[in-house]
Each structure stands twice: as C-alpha cells, then as structure tokens.
Amino acid sequence: MSEIPDEYRAPDQKDLNRLIQYLAAAVSDPIRVSVLLAHGLIEELIDEFIKELVPNHDFLDLPKTGFSDKLRWARRLDCEGRDEPFWKFIASFNELRNAAAHRNWNEKRVEWAPTPDCY
C-alpha cells in the first residue's frame, strides 16, 4: 500500500493548535479583521468591474486569478482614467491585507498607522 501524500494528510493536533492560535490572534484585533473584510469587498468590486467591461469574462477564471492580476486588468480596462494614486492605494492596501493574512501584520500595521497630520 502506498503512503498518502502530505497534501492529503489530515491535520494533527499540532496543526490544529497553530490554526487556533492564528485565528485567536487574527480576530482579537478589530483593525486586522476590518482590513481582511474590506479587502474582500474591494476584490468583489474589482471582479464586478471586470465582468462589466469584458463581455466573455468566463475565460478569465476570476475565482482562480490572483488579486494583483485582477488589479492590473482593472487598471488597463479603466476608461475613466482614474488617477495613479487611486491604483497605488489599492495595491498598497493589498500589501496590508497580505500582512494581515500572513505573518508581518504588526510591522505593516505600524507603517499604515495614521499620523496626527492626516486629520
């Protein structure tokens, strides 16, 4: 009998503990949760924007397409010519989302923290 590949292996207790620790840390920070939720909304809006402008959009396979590719396509399809800062903000926000979803959240959060001169 052959051995089951790792990608099909059921999680063990160590895996489950890591997941529980990650989820506890993620949901304990309301800003982190807000970033993750806002990014999901932005991605949905970009998907809708692309679908609206590309008649046969099914070939793009949007659910399997990465955010950066979707953003690049949306930017190229933008007939209204939104300013460069608009697109840079979304790309930068994607970096913040990646930090919130992965490991360097505390570092990125400090970079994005509002300063007194923004008010």
Task: Locate the domains of the chain by residue range.
Answer: 30-114
Whole-number pLDDT of residue 97? 92
Whole-number pLDDT of residue 46? 95
Mean pLDDT by groups of 10 residues along the chain of 119 residues: 70 86 82 92 95 89 92 90 87 91 80 62
Whole-number pLDDT of residue 65? 93
Closest listed residue to residue 110, CA positions, set 24, 32, 38: 32
d(CA 108, CA 99): 6
Whole-number pLDDT of residue 18? 85
Q: Which two tokens stand for residue 77?
A: 């399809």
Whole-number pLDDT of residue 108? 81
Give the helix ranges, DSSP H, for the chain: 13-27, 30-53, 67-77, 84-101, 105-112
